[in-house]
Structure 1
Amino acid sequence: MLRRVAFLEQELRRVESLILARDPEVREAPIHRAEPKPMPVRATEAPARIAKAPAPQPEPVQARAPEPRPSPQLSLETLIGGRLPIWIGGAALVLAGFFLVRYSIESGLLGPATRTLLAALFGLALVAGSEITRRLPATAEDPRVAQALAGAGIASLYGTLYMAAALYHLITPLAAFLLVLVVTGGALALALRHGPPTAVMALVGGFAAPLVAGFDAAGIGPLLVYLGLFTAALFGLAIHRGWAWLALAACVSGFAWINFLIAMLTARAGDLSAVGAFTMLLAIGASLALPATGAGNRWLRLAPLLAGCLQLAVLAPALDFGWLAWSFYLVLAAAALFLAWRDAVYLPGALAALILLLMLEMLAIVPPDPGFTPIAAVLATLLFAAPGHVLARRNPIWAAIALSGTSGPLLVAHLRAPDLLTAMQWGVIELAAAALTFSLAWRTRSEPEHPILVPATTLAAFLAGLGLGQFVPGDWLSVPLTLVAASLAWWARSTRARLLYELPAYPLAAALVAAALPLGALSELVLASLSGERLTYPLLPDLFELLRELAPPVALAIALLLDPAQFGRVRRPVSLVSTGLGILLLYALAKQVLAITTLPGFLDWGFLERALLTQACLAAGWWLARQGKVTTLGHALLALGLFRILWFDLFLLTPLIEPQAVGPLPLLNAAVLHLALASFWLWTLPPRWRTGAALLSLLAVLAAIRQATHGSLLTGPIGTTENGGYSAAMLGLALFWLWRGITTGARDLRIFGLALLTGVTFKVFLIDAAALDGVLRILSFLGLGLALIGIGWAYGRFVGKGAAPDAEPVT
């Protein structure tokens, strides 16, 4: 801005001098000053008011300003008729000079020295013509003519130097370099004098010169030196004048040359190493030049850096990922980090450079001959991790660079070339990387909501689990993963960071994945058991395998569930999975006691083993429900126990059909005790469980009658005595429920008793009476009638006392 203001002030002084020089009336106009007129004062006015009268002001200078010239309006006519011909003419002059030289070469008219001298004189003549036209009265008013000639002259001089040094070797490289500096200085001076059009012509001519003379006539090296010096000159001019457009145009032209050379050299199987060096220097130079020109758009400033990274990524395979290719990329990455350190605008460019580096490493580090890539991975780790860790708290992108730079090259190398190091070596390196990554989380431990805390902790846990896994066999992976989960739980409790509580679930899930084989065996066991398999013990996986692979993560998960904050958003699925797996583990342990492997063993011990497992579920669920702690788990265990009774004991493997010994003692046998104890658990729970308790009590009474008539094995038909026993037992149970319901005022017991009594009545009339004759039938109906009359009398007498006078009697 200061340079621009100074330039405008200089132009203003020049215009004023021109006005004074051309219009003598303005220069000689006298300055007339008006005489102050006395103001009349009335006699009544106070002296103070007279003192306040304003002082007379002199009249302004009477000068006739020149009439402003109307600015020309830009239209298609003025563009085609006035502007384009001059610019195209300048370009045509440049091309005329080059084609003249080329014609002289092809026809053999002139020697190399003469041709070069004539080309230099032609360029100097154009520059001199620009100065002459700038001063001539006929062309001074239109600066475009001088601009076009100056630009054409500069382009011609650049081309002449290229021919003299690269084509004909008339001058040494040092002399050529010095002359390029001289021409560049002249170009800068002319661009400062004539403005942007001259710079445009110099840009076009300078980049087009090698094409006209033959781009590979002197080899790729001298051509790239020429392009580099010319681009640097343009960058310098753009910085001096604040022309961001010129720096951007030079950058685009440079990358266009790079792609042209890649296409041409690839077709000819040429060496692209020099092109890679030029790409690196162009990207760095453009990234430094654009901010210095005043370019404010962040994506515009990032564009050269990103383009250079992509260009080198394209070039790397052609360079066989050797040390030269990697050096280009690492230098460009270092420049990106340096620019990002100076200005946060370049941070996305540094992160993009790291991502591209990881992609190149993924392609290059291929066994058995990874070449220079492992060393490049180490250098890249140091290059990105060091500044990333130092500046991590400055910006989240620096933290991302620190984390990715520390772990990315290492993980890619381990994934693509695991044979580079031994398992122990990989483990040591990964544990060191985990410690370095965790240091970022440790630095933010007092800020639970800091954005670095969670990603740094997550990556450190991943690296630690991977590193510890290298020291144990594959079937022991659940142990280090469980240790990582326990460490994460401790770290979450220490920092009180809400998002950290969720993290222990993921290494535990990974431990379950590592225990896929025993989990698969347990799943097969469950499916076989649900389908009616009697011998499930042989389907169990090895006990030591279960304890080694499945027990650690499951035990830790259940222990962490005691803390209500652990697992965060995934607490419910973790609790379901861990509880289910815990029950399966206990089931597998319980099956080890009897170890039933034969059908005779199942006949002797199958029902007892199943009853004990069911009672364990019911007892645990009853205790948890009564304690009021983890009631959801308690209800789930109670539901599981009831399901086992319904599915296995009453339907799939019922001892009424499948022979299973329940014990020879009346009442004190497995069948009766199993059902009676199950009903006891439910009777002592809240009233909503009493329906199930009543049904289980009824089943226990029926099981007692069945066992008393059949013995240890409950299979066989129902006899007359057994049938009568069922009726008598159910009648007694109904009378007991009615009595308890009346004396305690428990309405549900009265309903249970009435419902069972109704069922007994129907059974006697429809089933029992058909099987009895004579006195037995008479006694049966007599006893049933007296019992029903007594029940009705007692029910109406004792239950109706508490009813309202207008209440209907209970029938």
Structure 2
Amino acid sequence: MSGVLLIALAAAAAAFVALFRRLAALEDEVRDLAARLEAAPPAAAIPDRPAAPATVRVDRPVPPPALDALDAPLTPEPAEPAAPPRPRRSLESIIAGQLPIWVGGAALVLAGFFLVRLSIESGLFGPVARTVAAAAFALLLIAGSEVARRLPLTRDDPRVAQALAGAGTASLYGTLYIAAALYHLVGPAAAFGLLALVTATGLALALRHGPPTAIMALIGGFAAPLVAGVETTGVGPLLVYLALLVAALFGLAIRRGWLWLALAASAGGFLWVNLLVALVSGSDLAGAGAFALLLAIGGSLALPVGAAARPWLRLAPLLAGLVQLLVLAPALDFSALAWGYYLLLSAAALFLSSRDEALAPAAPAALALLLVLLAAGFTAGSPGAGPAALAATLLFAAAGHLRPRWAWLAVGGSAGPVLVAHAAAPALLPAPAWCLIEVAAALSTAALAWRLRTAPQATAQTGATLATATLLAAGLGALAGPPWLPVVLAVLLLALGGWARRLDAPALYRLPALALLAALLAAPRVLSAEALMLAASLVGEELSFLHVPALADALRGLAAPALAAALLLRDPAQFGRFRKAAIAVALAAGLLAIHALAKQVLAIATPEAFVRLGLLERALLTQACLLAALVLRPRLPRLAMGLLLLGLLRFAWFDLVVVNPLLVPQQVGGVPLLNLATLHPALAAAALWPWRAAPLARRTALALSLVTAAATVRQLTHGTLLTGGITRPENWLYSAAGLALAIGWLAAGLRRGQADLRLAGLALLVAVTLKVFLIDAAALEGVLRILSFLVLGVALMGIGWAYTRFTRSPA
């Protein structure tokens, strides 16, 4: 208790310092004005007019002066004397001259309260005597304020009278609370009458003495129940007391235009509500909810006069009340009373928003907080959450549809409660019931979108369209079941594109992008399975098929959204600024769907199946990418280039690195030249033919042709499995194949005039020559060695002669 009082005293002291510095500044200005008026000289006499000159030279006719101008004085009025400089207040003057008076007033109030409490604890006086003593002390303070106003020693300093009057008002509140709630010396009717009398006294004193007295009355009125002890009385009398106190403060704030007083009264009331939430529970909090409701409405009505220059301040009580009831609802176990309080305050916010433009943000704020409350209520299993959601829909949707400027409120009121209810408590209703409710709500938002088709509210129309699609997705998806939700969203994607084309609204063209993203995210199992499958493939896992999603799931979750997006992409306006992203997403989804479908064809689920079919499956997928690149190159060159790069990367990573047939056993076929080891890289090299003008494409094709030659030699010497060591005939065949390939590159380079082909042929020729001299010849003896060198020498001489002849001769 003492800690609370110390905090209250510190807050009061801080408020006193800020407020009375302002009062002192006003007093100084009044004194300066009075001094200037006293020092002003009397009005000077008008001097005689000077004589006109004897002769005046006139170059042009001069009109005669007006008659009233002859009577006007010719000399200017004397200038005002300079105002004396204002005396600057120092920190010493504030602390020594102002602060002690107000702290002293607060100390008088606390002294009276603790005197009464001491008498209670020691048993010196009975209840009647204690109450009479407290009342006498309060009246003595008020009488002292009047004496201070008239006493020559203190009448020049109004702060003394203000402090005494404020302390007396606070003491009267405390006395009445003790007499009515603690000792029951007066009945309820008499207590209310006395409280009205004390309130009237406080108002009169505040009007007479100014803001300081009102501050003291405010602090004393809110602190009185704490000093007397909250536990000694019920919550009901305390709330009645607080309601009358706040009402009196609001009345004074309206009468004097004191914005700060209305805000302080609202803050004090909400502080007491939170204190009651912490101290009591159960049905005792029902009155606290009613008090918070009335406080929010009363605070909003008390603020307009003082908050004209700051409209946002007028929202503070309403928003604080909405948040307070949101916090209070769990403490009331989400009872019907809690829902009723919030709905009543929401209705009040709608009414006040319709009457006052400055309070317009209160309506959407009430709806947003109500959706949060509904989510918490449905999650907690509150039986009143369903009726509250229905009432909220009727309240906000009706208000939004009736006022054209509240289109967003109509959207949120029609779609928000039902979507929150469905998301938080899907088991509350069967799927057909959810579908029926959400389709009905979608008709409401669709009607709003249709009405706004010619209105300037583009954002509201976009919101209504999006809400309609969301409601239809939720309802039809619940009816069809989760596996079919991506298909429902794909259909809605097409519908959104058609609606955007119908209205030709730029904002609506972007909505299909959201539908595409939602359709893909609606199949999380498919996406996770594809991710696992791709990760397993990239690290070289042989049985990646075990991670592939089911074919039906892949078609619903990937193929349907990709196909819908592809149909929309035929219109260049669809997807708006998200068009490039939509193309990339749709392409990725389509490729994943095709990949899942292709994996189902061979279904490699055992190690034996991988040995038989592993390379064949990879080759088919890679060649499909390359073939698609060739087909799409004339119409979609960028997409074709992407597919080409994808196919080449697949070949390089899978067939040359992670699952190379030289290292991992895989059957390539037993027929020479007509086997996967030869055909796979050869077809990849041939796929680069349309891009042969690019040097990088030609060099990649050269590398692939070298791989083709080496793979052909390997298959000729090893058969269908390429694993194992290198034999001597295989080594010679590598040299022969390399020499033949070098000659072919040189010939092609010479014939086409391409230097990179000639250089590649020369480089390969040098490499083959070094291999023959360093490796092949070392293993030969006798005639074979002689013949090998003879053939190599003749071949090199012929190549050199031909190269020199063709490079020097004209084309």
TM-score normalised by L of structure 2: 0.72
1:648 equivalent among 630, 652, 655: 655
| Structure-to-structure mapping, 1:38-77, within 5 angstroms | 54-55=70-71, 75-77=94-96
2:266 equivalent among 238, 251, 255: 251
Report deviation, 1:783.
5.0
Q: Against the structure 1 CA distance between its residues 250 and 106, is the aligned structure 2 distance closer, same or farther, given a 3 Å change threshold?
A: farther
Partner residue of 1:239? Answer: 254
Q: Give me the whole-angstrom Cα distance separating, in 1, the residues matched to 2:701 and 2:303.
A: 84
Tell me if structure 1 keeps the 8 A contact 2:565–2:586.
Answer: yes
Q: Give me the whole-angstrom Cα distance separating, in 1, the residues matched to 2:215 and 2:762.
A: 107
1:496 equivalent among 502, 506, 529: 506
Q: Which amino acid aligns with 1:413?
A: A
Q: Give me the whole-angstrom Cα distance separating, in 2, the residues matched to 1:36 and 1:740.
A: 118
Partner residue of 1:373? Answer: 385
Structure 1, unaligned runs of 5 or more? 1-14, 16-30, 60-67, 804-811
Q: Give me the whole-angstrom Cα distance separating, in 1, the residues matched to 2:715 and 2:171.
A: 118
2:476 equivalent among 453, 463, 468: 468
SS state of the match for residue 370, structure 1?
coil
Report deviation, 1:52.
9.8
SS state of the match for residue 691, structure 2?
coil
Partner residue of 2:667? Answer: 660
Partner residue of 1:8? Answer: none
1:281 equivalent among 262, 283, 294: 294
Q: Against the structure 1 CA distance between its residues 292 and 610, is the aligned structure 2 distance closer, same or farther, given a 3 Å change threshold?
A: closer
SS state of the match for residue 335, structure 1?
helix
Partner residue of 1:797? Answer: 805
Partner residue of 1:319? Answer: 332
Report deviation, 1:510.
0.5
Partner residue of 2:530? Answer: 519
Residue 335 in structure 1 maps to residue 341 in structure 2: no
Tell me if structure 2 keeps the 8 A contact 1:623–1:634.
Answer: no
Query: How many residue pairs end up in the alignment?
Result: 750
Tell me if structure 2 keeps the 8 A contact 1:477–1:514.
Answer: no
Tell me if structure 2 keeps the 8 A contact 1:119–1:156.
Answer: yes
Tell me if structure 2 keeps the 8 A contact 1:504–1:567.
Answer: no
| Structure-to-structure mapping, 1:154-173, within 5 angstroms | none
Question: 1:195-252 CA deviation, whole Å, 9 max, x = no partner?
Answer: 4455456556655666787777775434433432343233222212223333334334
Tell me if structure 2 keeps the 8 A contact 1:279–1:312.
Answer: yes
Question: 1:336-355 CA deviation, whole Å, 9 max, x = no partner?
Answer: 34344444554555555445
Question: 1:716-770 CA deviation, whole Å, 9 max, x = no partner?
Answer: 9988887777666665555454444434434344344444544555566566666
Tell me if structure 2 keeps the 8 A contact 1:484–1:507.
Answer: no
Q: Against the structure 1 CA distance between its residues 84 and 93, is the aligned structure 2 distance closer, same or farther, given a 3 Å change threshold?
A: same
Partner residue of 2:38? Answer: none
Report deviation, 1:522.
3.9
Tell me if structure 2 keeps the 8 A contact 1:191–1:198.
Answer: yes
Residue 615 in structure 1 maps to residue 641 in structure 2: no
Q: Give me the whole-angstrom Cα distance separating, in 2, the residues matched to 1:692 and 1:89.
A: 93
Report deviation, 1:462.
4.2
Report deviation, 1:636.
3.6
Residue 553 in structure 1 maps to residue 553 in structure 2: no
Partner residue of 2:5? Answer: none
The percent of aligned pairs where both chains have the same amino acid is 49
| Structure-to-structure mapping, 1:444-483, within 5 angstroms | 451-452=459-460, 460-483=468-491
Q: Against the structure 1 CA distance between its residues 180 and 545, is the aligned structure 2 distance closer, same or farther, given a 3 Å change threshold?
A: closer
Tell me if structure 1 keeps the 8 A contact 2:668–2:677.
Answer: no
Question: 1:290-345 CA deviation, whole Å, 9 max, x = no partner?
Answer: 22345644564444334434443443333332222222233233333434444455
1:634 equivalent among 632, 635, 641: 641
Report deviation, 1:470.
0.7
Tell me if structure 2 keeps the 8 A contact 1:430–1:466.
Answer: yes
Q: Give me the whole-angstrom Cα distance separating, in 1, the residues matched to 2:151 and 2:653.
A: 114
Tell me if structure 2 keeps the 8 A contact 1:220–1:274.
Answer: yes
Q: Against the structure 1 CA distance between its residues 225 and 43, is the aligned structure 2 distance closer, same or farther, given a 3 Å change threshold?
A: same
Q: Give me the whole-angstrom Cα distance separating, in 2, the residues matched to 1:390 and 1:353.
A: 18
Q: Which amino acid aligns with 1:380?
A: A
Residue 693 in structure 1 maps to residue 708 in structure 2: no
Partner residue of 2:24? Answer: none
Tell me if structure 2 keeps the 8 A contact 1:663–1:670.
Answer: no
Q: Radius of gyration: which is bigger?
A: 1
Q: Give me the whole-angstrom Cα distance separating, in 1, the residues matched to 2:611 and 2:45.
A: 137
Report deviation, 1:274.
1.9
Q: Give me the whole-angstrom Cα distance separating, in 1, the residues matched to 2:108 and 2:724.
A: 117
SS state of the match for residue 480, structure 2?
coil
Question: 1:393-433 CA deviation, whole Å, 9 max, x = no partner?
Answer: 57xxx84x665555544444334433221223233334444
Q: Against the structure 1 CA distance between its residues 87 and 468, is the aligned structure 2 distance closer, same or farther, given a 3 Å change threshold?
A: same
Q: Give me the whole-angstrom Cα distance separating, in 1, the residues matched to 2:169 and 2:703.
A: 107
| Structure-to-structure mapping, 1:534-553, within 5 angstroms | 541-553=549-561
TM-score normalised by L of structure 1: 0.72
Q: Which amino acid aligns with 1:375?
A: P
2:518 equivalent among 489, 492, 507: 507
Q: Against the structure 1 CA distance between its residues 778 and 559, is the aligned structure 2 distance closer, same or farther, given a 3 Å change threshold?
A: farther
Q: Against the structure 1 CA distance between its residues 702 and 139, is the aligned structure 2 distance closer, same or farther, given a 3 Å change threshold?
A: closer
Q: Which amino acid aligns with 2:629?
A: G
Q: Give me the whole-angstrom Cα distance separating, in 1, the residues matched to 2:419 and 2:129.
A: 63
Q: Which amino acid aligns with 1:323?
A: A
Tell me if structure 2 keeps the 8 A contact 1:151–1:201.
Answer: yes
Give the superposed CA RMSD.
5.7
Q: Give me the whole-angstrom Cα distance separating, in 2, the residues matched to 1:86 and 1:776.
A: 123
| Structure-to-structure mapping, 1:324-403, within 5 angstroms | 324-346=337-359, 350=363, 352-366=365-379, 370-387=382-399, 393=405, 399=408
Tell me if structure 1 keeps the 8 A contact 2:628–2:640.
Answer: no
Report deviation, 1:281.
1.3
Q: Give me the whole-angstrom Cα distance separating, in 2, the residues matched to 1:273 and 1:721.
A: 98
Q: Give me the whole-angstrom Cα distance separating, in 2, the residues matched to 1:38 and 1:709.
A: 134
Q: Give me the whole-angstrom Cα distance separating, in 2, the residues matched to 1:58 and 1:733.
A: 116
Structure 2, unaligned runs of 5 or more? 1-30, 32-41, 76-83
Q: Which amino acid aligns with 1:477?
A: L
Residue 682 in structure 1 maps to residue 688 in structure 2: yes
Q: Give me the whole-angstrom Cα distance separating, in 2, the residues matched to 1:708 and 1:219.
A: 101
SS state of the match for residue 477, structure 1?
helix
Report deviation, 1:194.
4.9
Report deviation, 1:634.
3.1
Tell me if structure 1 keeps the 8 A contact 2:161–2:209.
Answer: yes
Report deviation, 1:800.
0.6
| Structure-to-structure mapping, 1:198-209, within 5 angstroms | 199-200=214-215, 203=218
Q: Give me the whole-angstrom Cα distance separating, in 2, the residues matched to 1:402 and 1:174.
A: 46
Q: Against the structure 1 CA distance between its residues 746 and 389, is the aligned structure 2 distance closer, same or farther, given a 3 Å change threshold?
A: same
Q: Give me the whole-angstrom Cα distance separating, in 2, the residues matched to 1:49 and 1:766.
A: 126
Partner residue of 1:290? Answer: 303
Q: Give me the whole-angstrom Cα distance separating, in 2, the residues matched to 1:109 and 1:751.
A: 116
Question: 1:107-151 CA deviation, whole Å, 9 max, x = no partner?
Answer: 569799xx88x9999989998998898789998777678767876
Q: Against the structure 1 CA distance between its residues 158 and 479, is the aligned structure 2 distance closer, same or farther, given a 3 Å change threshold?
A: same
| Structure-to-structure mapping, 1:599-610, within 5 angstroms | none
Q: Give me the whole-angstrom Cα distance separating, in 1, the residues matched to 2:56 and 2:792.
A: 137
